A and B are shown apart, each in its own frame.
Chain A
Amino acid sequence: MYVLKRHAVSALFLGDRPISNETSIAPVHLSCNHTSSPHFWVMIIGCVVSLVCSGCSANAASPPASNRPYLIRLTGESMAWRVRYAGPDEFLDTPDDILSIRDIHLPAERPVKILLTSRDLLYTLAIQRHRVHEIAVPDIEIVVALPPDRPGAYRFQGDQMCGFQHDVLFGQITVHRPAEFDNWIASHSGH
Chain B
Amino acid sequence: MTLLTRGGWLLTVMVILGVVAMLAVIQRQAVPPGPVPLAPLTADGLPILGQAPPFRLRDASDKAYGIRELRDRAWLLTLLPSSTKADSVSLANHLSALRDAIQLRPESHEIRMVTIAATTNPQLATLRKLADSDPAFWKILAGSATEIDAYCHAATAEINFPAKPNSIRAADADGVTLLVDFYGRLRKVYQSAPLLVPASVQADLAMLFVERLPKPAEVVTAPWLEPRRQQQLLSAKSITAFHDFRFEDRVIDSGITFRNKIVDDAGRLYEAAHYDHGNGVAVADVDGDGKTDIYFVTQAGPNELWRNLGDGKFENITDAAGVALPERISVSASFGDIDNDGDPDLFVTTVRHGNVLFENLGEGKFRDVTEAAGVGYVGHSSSAIFFDYNRDGLLDLFVTNVGKYTQDEVRTVTREPLRGEPEGPDYKYYRAFADAFAGHLKPDERNERSLLYRNDGQLKFTDVTEATQLIDVCWSGDASPCDFNHDGWPDLYVLNMQGHDEYYENQEGKTFLRRSKEVFPNTPWGSMGIKIFDFDNDGRFDLYLTDMHSDMSEEVGPDREKLKSRMMWPPRLVQAGEFNPQPGRESIYGNAFFRNLGEGKFEEISDRIGAENYWPWGLSVGDVNADGFDDAFITASMNFPFRYAINSLLLNEQGQKFRDSEFILGVEPRREGRTATPWFALDCTGREQGHKLCSEPGVTGPRMVWSSLGSKSSVVFDLDDDGDLDIVTNEVNEEPMVLISNLSVAKPGLKYLQVRLKGSKSNRDGLGAIVTVRVGNQAYHKVHDGLSGYMSHSLCPLYFGLDKAEQIDAIEVEWPSGTKQSLKGPIKANQTLEIVEQP
CB of A133 closer than 8 Å to a CB of B: yes
| B435 & A164 in contact (Cβ 8 Å cutoff) | no
Interface of A is mostly: loop
| A162 & B570 in contact (Cβ 8 Å cutoff) | no
A74-90: which have CB < 8 Å to B?
Answer: 79
CB of A180 closer than 8 Å to a CB of B: no
How many A residues, CB 8 Å from partner? Answer: 23
**Minimum CB distance partner of B216 in chain A:** A164
**Contact A121:B435 (CB < 8 A) given known A163-B641, A164-B270:** yes
Encoded as 1 (CB less than 8 Å from any B CB) or 0, chain A from 119 to 141 comes to 01110101000000111011110
Q: Which residues of A contact B361 (CB under 8 A)?
A: none
Known pairs A134-B570, A135-B569. 6 more at Cβ < 8 A?
A3-B441, A120-B434, A124-B568, A135-B570, A138-B435, A142-B572
CB of B467 closer than 8 Å to a CB of A: no
Encoded as 1 (CB less than 8 Å from any B CB) or 0, chain A from 31 to 59 comes to 00000000000000000000000000000
**Contact A164:B572 (CB < 8 A) given known A3-B442, A121-B434, A140-B442:** no
Complex A-B: 7 CB contacts under 8 Å: A118-B435, A122-B272, A135-B569, A137-B435, A138-B434, A162-B437, A165-B696
User: Chain B nearest CB: distance from A156 CB in Å?
Assistant: 14
Q: Which residues of A contact B640 (CB under 8 A)?
A: 164
User: Chain B nearest CB: distance from A118 CB in Å?
Assistant: 7
| A162 & B442 in contact (Cβ 8 Å cutoff) | no
Categorize the interface residue count of chain B. 20 to 34
**Minimum CB distance partner of A161 in chain B:** B272
Q: Which residues of B contact A164 (CB under 8 A)?
A: 215-216, 270, 640-641, 692-693
B569-604: which have CB < 8 Å to A?
Answer: 569-573
CB of B438 closer than 8 Å to a CB of A: yes
**Minimum CB distance partner of B705 in chain A:** A164
**Contact A161:B437 (CB < 8 A) given known A133-B570, A135-B570, A142-B572:** yes
Cα distance A164–B272 in the bound complex, in angstroms: 10
Q: Which residues of A contact B552 (CB under 8 A)?
A: 162
Encoded as 1 (CB less than 8 Å from any A CB) or 0, chain B from 421 to 442 comes to 0000000000000110110011
User: Chain B nearest CB: distance from A130 CB in Å?
Assistant: 13
B628-671: which have CB < 8 Å to A?
Answer: 640-641
User: Chain B nearest CB: distance from A164 CB in Å?
Assistant: 3
Cα distance A38–B438 in the bound complex, in angstroms: 50
Cα distance A160–B216 in the bound complex, in angstroms: 15
Encoded as 1 (CB less than 8 Å from any A CB) or 0, chain B from 213 to 233 comes to 001100000000000000000
Cα distance A3–B446 in the bound complex, in angstroms: 14
Cα distance A14–B442 in the bound complex, in angstroms: 25
| B692 & A79 in contact (Cβ 8 Å cutoff) | yes
**Minimum CB distance partner of A79 in chain B:** B692
**Contact A122:B215 (CB < 8 A) given known A3-B442, A133-B570, A139-B442:** no
User: Chain A nearest CB: distance from B381 CB in Å?
Assistant: 22
User: Chain B nearest CB: distance from A75 CB in Å?
Assistant: 13
**Minimum CB distance partner of B554 in chain A:** A133
| A133 & B442 in contact (Cβ 8 Å cutoff) | no
User: Chain A nearest CB: distance from B40 CB in Å?
Assistant: 25
Cα distance A40–B693 in the bound complex, in angstroms: 59
Cα distance A165–B272 in the bound complex, in angstroms: 13
Cα distance A116–B215 in the bound complex, in angstroms: 29
Cα distance A2–B572 in the bound complex, in angstroms: 6
Q: Which of B438, B552, B693, B696 has the most CB of A within 10 A?
A: B438
Q: Which residues of B contact A138 (CB under 8 A)?
A: 434-435
Across the A-B interface, the 8 shortest Cβ-Cβ residue pairs: A162-B272, A164-B641, A2-B572, A137-B438, A121-B434, A122-B435, A133-B568, A138-B435
**Minimum CB distance partner of B693 in chain A:** A164
**Contact A122:B570 (CB < 8 A) given known A162-B552, A163-B272, A164-B270:** no
Encoded as 1 (CB less than 8 Å from any A CB) or 0, chain B from 550 to 579 comes to 001000000000000000111111000000
Encoded as 1 (CB less than 8 Å from any B CB) or 0, chain A from 139 to 167 comes to 11010000000000000000011111100
**Minimum CB distance partner of A3 in chain B:** B441
Q: Which residues of A contact B434 (CB under 8 A)?
A: 120-122, 138
Cα distance A134–B650 in the bound complex, in angstroms: 35
**Minimum CB distance partner of A121 in chain B:** B434
Q: Which residues of A contact B692 (CB under 8 A)?
A: 79, 164-165
Cα distance A191–B710 in the bound complex, in angstroms: 50
Q: Which residues of A contact B570 (CB under 8 A)?
A: 133-135
Q: Which residues of A contact B272 (CB under 8 A)?
A: 121-122, 160-163
**Minimum CB distance partner of B571 in chain A:** A2
Q: Which residues of B contact A134 (CB under 8 A)?
A: 570
Cα distance A181–B777 in the bound complex, in angstroms: 80
Encoded as 1 (CB less than 8 Å from any A CB) or 0, chain B from 683 to 703 comes to 000000000110010000000
| A133 & B438 in contact (Cβ 8 Å cutoff) | no
Q: Which residues of A contact B437 (CB under 8 A)?
A: 122, 161-162
Q: Which residues of B contact A161 (CB under 8 A)?
A: 272, 437
Q: Which residues of B contact A2 (CB under 8 A)?
A: 441, 571-572
Q: Which residues of A contact B572 (CB under 8 A)?
A: 2-3, 142
Q: Which of A2, A3, A139, A164 has the most CB of B within 10 A?
A: A164
Cα distance A133–B553 in the bound complex, in angstroms: 10
Cα distance A139–B433 in the bound complex, in angstroms: 13
**Minimum CB distance partner of B640 in chain A:** A164
Cα distance A134–B572 in the bound complex, in angstroms: 9
Q: Which residues of A contact B571 (CB under 8 A)?
A: 2
User: Chain A nearest CB: distance from B837 CB in Å?
Assistant: 48
**Minimum CB distance partner of A124 in chain B:** B568
| A137 & B441 in contact (Cβ 8 Å cutoff) | yes
Cα distance A133–B552 in the bound complex, in angstroms: 14
Q: Which of A124, A137, A163 has the most CB of B within 10 A?
A: A137
Q: Which residues of B contact A160 (CB under 8 A)?
A: 272
Cα distance A137–B692 in the bound complex, in angstroms: 20
Cα distance A134–B438 in the bound complex, in angstroms: 12
User: Chain B nearest CB: distance from A103 CB in Å?
Assistant: 21
Cα distance A124–B640 in the bound complex, in angstroms: 19
User: Chain A nearest CB: distance from B672 CB in Å?
Assistant: 26
User: Chain B nearest CB: distance from A9 CB in Å?
Assistant: 13
Cα distance A16–B608 in the bound complex, in angstroms: 53
| A140 & B441 in contact (Cβ 8 Å cutoff) | yes
Encoded as 1 (CB less than 8 Å from any B CB) or 0, chain A from 1 to 22 comes to 0110000000000000000000
User: Chain B nearest CB: distance from A152 CB in Å?
Assistant: 25
